[in-house]
Every structure is written in structure tokens, then in C-alpha cells.
Amino acid sequence: MRYSRSLRALVIVVVIASAAVGCSGSGGSQGNAGKQKPQSEQSVRTGKNGLKMTTVTGTIIRVDIDTRRFVLKPKNEQGLLIRFNPKSLKPTLDGKAAAPEDMKKGQRAEVDYIVKDDKEIARSVKLKSSK
């Protein structure tokens, strides 16, 4: 009798734990880290410091210099919220050194970023002037 109560309690705990894990995978609180990008828009490599560096190309759809964030929209994908540190970011505009303030809505950009604490953090941004 005791054995069946213990077994029943264990089954209930396992079912509840499985449901909780299954529900958390699609939540919006995980940022963009788990989303896959099409092969033509993304490449992944290991950087000098051993961190996984991802390169993605798209159009900038929003820039907020004050909060140090911008949104890049790869073709046929949702926007990707990317954070940056102005001291370590190395942006270029048409191959020449630029500043984060040069990022504008509608520009095409190629961004190298790492994922840290489920947040995308830009390391370099190659901007193309909109002509």
C-alpha cells in the first residue's frame, strides 16, 4: 500500500515537471537566443576568445542609442533585438570607421554578435549607406 502511494506521488511530480518544462520553451522571456536563422542570412564561428560568434545580415528597423539597442530584421524572419556597448562596438559605414549614432532605420547591415545571458550583444556592425 505504501509503495503504490509513493509511486503515485512520484508519477504526479514527473508529470507536473514535464508540463512545466514543455511550456517554458516557447515563452518570450528567452530573448532571441533559441531562434534559428536561414542559412543564407546567418553564419556561426568561434571567435578569438572562444565565444560563439554569429554573423547575420538584414535591415535595421529600429535604433535606440540611449538604451544601446537596435532591431535587425533578416529577410523572411522576425526582428532580432541586439544590444551593444558603445566602447567595444566597432561599426563601419561603407568600409570606413563609423559611430553607433550612424546606425539609421532602413540601412542594410551585417552584424557579428555573441549571446551572453540569452541576450545578443553586437561586436561589429558593417553598415551600408542607403542609396
Q: The whole model's pTM is what? A: 0.63
Class of domain 36-128: mainly beta
Tracing cell 566602447 back to the chain, one arrives at 87
Q: What percentage of the chain carries pLDDT values higher than 90? A: 49
- The confidence score (pLDDT) of residue 41 equals 59
- The 10 Å Cβ neighbour count of residue 57 is 18
80, three cell numbers:
532580432
Identity of residue 96: K
- The confidence score (pLDDT) of residue 83 equals 96
Mind listing the pLDDT tens digit for each residue in 93-125? Answer: 999 999 999 999 999 999 999 998 999 999 999
Angle (CA) 122 48 121, round 5° = 15
pLDDT band at 88 (very low <50, low <70, confident <90, very high): confident
Residues 83 and 97: their CA atoms lie apart, in Å, by 19
- The confidence score (pLDDT) of residue 51 equals 78
pLDDT band at 40 (very low <50, low <70, confident <90, very high): very low
Residues 106 and 43: their CA atoms lie apart, in Å, by 22
Contact 72, 61 (CB under 8 A): yes
Residues 69 and 67: their CA atoms lie apart, in Å, by 6
Q: What is the dihedral of CA 94, 95, 101, 104, to 10 degrees?
A: 30
Residues 23 and 62: their CA atoms lie apart, in Å, by 30
- The confidence score (pLDDT) of residue 43 equals 67
Residues 44 and 33: their CA atoms lie apart, in Å, by 13
